[in-house]
Amino acid sequence: MKRPLAIAAALLAAGARGDIYQTPHNLLGAVPPMRGAPAPATQPLCIICHVPNRMPYEVRLAVWGGPGQNGALDVRADPAGPPRSLRWAGSTLRCLSCHDGTVSSINITFRPSSTSLLNEPASGPARALSLPSRDALDPAGPVMGNHPVGVPYPLEFKGGTFRAIGPRSVALGADWNPDPREHGLKLVADKSGFTVGPGSAGVECATCHDPHGTPNAYFLRLPLTGSQLCLGCHRK
């Protein structure tokens, strides 16, 4: 159990907002060192994820999907359910380029739990591509579930379409906060641009996480204490 605790402690030590060099996302290996993420100290940190316009880049952006995959996956929200074509995009695509457990050995909670995003069984190719498991995970365990991303949010109680996924068929009102941005969470627009409005707002990884660092654990935009993070959107 020592190692997971150490990792957890490292995650908890994430730095303050904006100081990405003080977070585990400092992949240049400054503080703290991330296992399996060697990066030449001469590389600028930002271009690992961001590529300035017209700037020749020397580091190839990680490509979603891994070997033999084309960027569109059949995923099943319910392992027993029907397959549904899902196309990652936006910030989530950027996150998954590392956290899917195929390109990178880094994963969301514990490797190879990120295979659950692919919804492959424990013996599937994604898991096989992962590095050897750590103590805390159960490689024979169930496919693991994650909070949906790339889904619409009923901003101001207005159901909308996001990433081609329609609104829930039932009344949306009481279960949701009208605008979670008031609590510090982030919604994203369906189309290009920065204007987020009712009818086309969505949830991505960045809704809850700010990969550049927050005062909270796990890059969370709100503390887990009292489940403030969950209750930022969900009125339960």
Partner 1 sequence: MSFLLAILLAQAVSNIRATKHNLSAQGGNAVRAESEDQVCVFCHTPHGAYQSKPIWNRNLDYQASALYTLYSSSTLDAVPSRPNGATRLCLSCHDGVLALGAVMTLNAQHNANIPMANGVTTMPQGNTLLGLDLHNDHPVSIVPDTSDPEIQLPPVGDPILLQEGATPGVKNTVQCTSCHEPHLQTFKFLRKDNLRGAVCTTCHTKQGWIGSRHEASLAPYPASGSTTVGDRACLNCHTPHNAVSPARLHTTANLSGGPLPWAEENVCLQCHRLGGTGVDPSRGKPAPDLQTQFSKFTHHPVELTTDTHQPEFTARQPAPEPVLNTVAKHVECADCHNPHQVQALPQLPSSDTRNVHTGMRGIAKDGSEAIDSASRPVQQWEICFRCHGDSFALTIPPSATRPPSGSNKRLEFQPTNRSFHPVGDPGKNQSAFLNNFNVGGQLQGNAWDGTPLDRTKTLLCTDCHNNESTSDVQGSARNSSAGPKGPHGSSNARLLRANLSFAVGSDAGPPFGGFNANNFALCFRCHDVNRLTGQSGSRTNFFQNGGVGAGRGNLHWVHLIDKTNANCIECHYNIHSNVEAANTEYVNVPPSGSTHLINFAPTVLPFPGNDPNTGRRYTRPAWGFTASGDPYCFLRCHGQNAMDGSKSVYRPPSP
Binding site for partner 1 (CB under 8 A): 4, 7-8, 11, 76-82, 108-110, 113, 116, 119, 136-138, 141-148, 157-158, 171-175, 208, 217-218, 224-227, 230-231, 234-236
Min dist CB 59 to partner 1, Å, is 27
Q: With H, G, I as helix, E, B as strand and everything else as coil, classify residue 116.
A: helix
Minimum distance from residue 226 beta carbon to partner 1 (Å): 6
Minimal distance in Å, beta carbon 149 to partner 1?
10
Shorter beta-carbon distance to partner 1: residue 21 or 218: 218
Name the CA radius of gyration of the chain, rounded: 18
The residue whose two tokens read 């930022």 is 232
Measured from the CB atom, is 71 or 145 closer to partner 1? Answer: 145
Task: Compute the Cα dihedral for 185, 189, 190, 193 and give only its sign.
Answer: negative
| Six token digits for residue 130 | 């992962």
DSSP symbol at 124: S
Sign of the torsion angle spanned by Cα atoms 34, 107, 208, 220:
negative
- Please state the closest distance from residue 114 (CB atom) to partner 1, in A: 9
- Of 19 and 156, the one with the shorter C-beta distance to partner 1 is 156
